[in-house]
Each structure stands twice: as structure tokens, then as C-alpha cells.
Amino acid sequence: MKARVAILLSGRGSNFLALQAAIARGAIPAEIVLVLSNRKSAAGLRSAAELGLPTLCLPHGEAPSREAHDERVVAALAAAAAEWICLAGYMRLLSPVFVRAFPRRILNVHPSLLPAFPGLHAQRQALEHGVRVSGCTVHLVDEELDHGPIVEQRAVPVRSGDTEETLADRILVQEHRAYPEALRRLLTRRWTIVGRRVVFARSRSAG
């Protein structure tokens, strides 16, 4: 049985397209049942519509509070019978109302090796701190920013001539690989949370 996945995005949604491509080629046992954005101008909404996927825009400015907006989003996700939520550049801090509606079923990708450099401008933070290695992290979402249990990480070397843009571009390549793999593993493997980590049971092929 395919898992019912909803995508939340605020912009172009390149990670959404990476997930959709993996689903389309059968690498992930899932179907996208809704692509939702808080911005009418989000290019990801247009991409989803062109792919024939259900779309919905719920502008956050039309709600009196963050919690009220999240209640509307949760209601839309429930109406779509979504089981998993994948954040793909969704530029909203989720309220407890949202997180508690889908415990351990919300995924996010962040352009750093968490717990280093949470929040905005992670690539800029990496360059300012002079780190030799950065990367990306796919994690389950909890009620703190960029904090939940880690599912998948990919390292990206930081080069001496890197700018924020060049580093971001190379990290994004790894995001497009790590995010589909993280979702695939969560849907096909037994797992549990130990501390801050998602621990997967050994597959049969691993002996």
C-alpha cells in the first residue's frame, strides 16, 4: 500500500520535484495527495498543477494568527487523508498545533549538518564560521526549529573560494538525493527514535 504524502512549499519546490521524481520511478512507495503553499506566487504550485497533482493555497496573511493558519492547513491535510508531511522550502515555523497533529510524520530538509547552523542563512553561517565541511540534514520535525530526530545526512566539502550561492548549489544537489532516500527508508524499514536519532532496524540483506 502506498503512503499518502502531502508536500508543503513556499517557493520553487525543487525538493518537491526530487521527491515526485523518485515516487514516479517507483523508488518510494508513496503517492502525493496534496501540494499546499502559503504563497500564491509559489512556482512549486504551478509545477504541481502541470503534473496533475492536487494543489491548494492558504495564504498565511488571511489568518489572524500562526495557530489559526496552521489549523486551516491541518484541516486541509486531514481532508486529503495525508499520512506523511514533507516540508520542501516551506518558510513557516510550525506551531505546536500542527506538529501535534502529525507526530513523527513531518519531514524537513535543512542545508546544514544539524545541530550546526539551524535557522535561516545556514550556508552563510557555515562560511562565516570557517568550517571545512557542511551539508544537509533530513529530520523529523518537532516543536523546536531545525531540532527533531535526524534521519539522513550528506556531507559537502566547503571550498576556499566558495560563496553563499556556490555552497548552496552544491548542498542542494545532496538535498535532492538525501530527501527521497530518507522518505524511502522511513516507509520501507522498521525504525525507532533513540535520543536525537532515528535508528533503523538492520535489513535482512545486511544479515
Question: Would you name the residues annotated as active-site residues?
Answer: 110
Report d(CA 143, CA 72) in Å as an integer: 18
Q: Do 130 and 204 share a structural domain?
A: yes
Q: Do 50 and 25 share a structural domain?
A: yes
Query: Per the structure block, which three cell numbers stand in for 24?
Result: 514516479
Mean pLDDT of 74-99: 98
Q: Do 201 and 137 share a structural domain?
A: yes
Report d(CA 76, CA 33) in Å as an integer: 11
pLDDT > 60? residue 156: yes
Q: Do 126 and 51 share a structural domain?
A: no
Mean pLDDT of 93-110: 97
CATH of the domain at 163: 3.40.50.170
Q: Do 71 and 138 share a structural domain?
A: no
Mean pLDDT of 28-39: 99
Q: What is the pLDDT of residue 204?
A: 53
> What distance lies between CA 99 and its chain's CA centroid?
14
Report d(CA 40, CA 20) in Å as an integer: 21
Total number of domains constituting the chain:
2
- Residue 37 — very low, low, confident or very high, per pLDDT cuts 50/70/90? very high
Q: Do 27 and 69 share a structural domain?
A: yes
- Residue 206 — very low, low, confident or very high, per pLDDT cuts 50/70/90? very low
Q: Do 153 and 206 share a structural domain?
A: yes
Q: Do 115 and 82 share a structural domain?
A: no
Q: What is the pLDDT of residue 202?
A: 84
Report d(CA 106, CA 148) in Å as an integer: 10
Q: Do 163 and 130 share a structural domain?
A: yes
Report d(CA 9, CA 174) in Å as an integer: 18
Domain boundary among 67, 102, 137: 102
- Residue 207 — very low, low, confident or very high, per pLDDT cuts 50/70/90? very low
Mean pLDDT of 71-88: 99
Closest CA to 155 of 182, 138, 133: 133
Edge to edge, what strands does the sheet with 30-37 contain? 55-57, 30-37, 3-9, 84-87, 106-110, 133-140, 150-157, 197-200, 191-194
Mean pLDDT of 164-171: 98
What's phi and psi for 166, nearest 5 deg?
Answer: -70, -40
Q: Do 80 and 123 share a structural domain?
A: no
Q: Do 200 and 118 share a structural domain?
A: yes
Domain boundary among 102, 129, 163: 102
Mean pLDDT of 134-160: 96
Range(s) of the domain holding residue 43 = 1-102
Domain boundary among 84, 102, 120: 102
Q: Do 121 and 94 share a structural domain?
A: no
Query: Per the structure block, which three cell numbers stand in for 173?
Result: 544537489
pLDDT > 90? residue 196: no
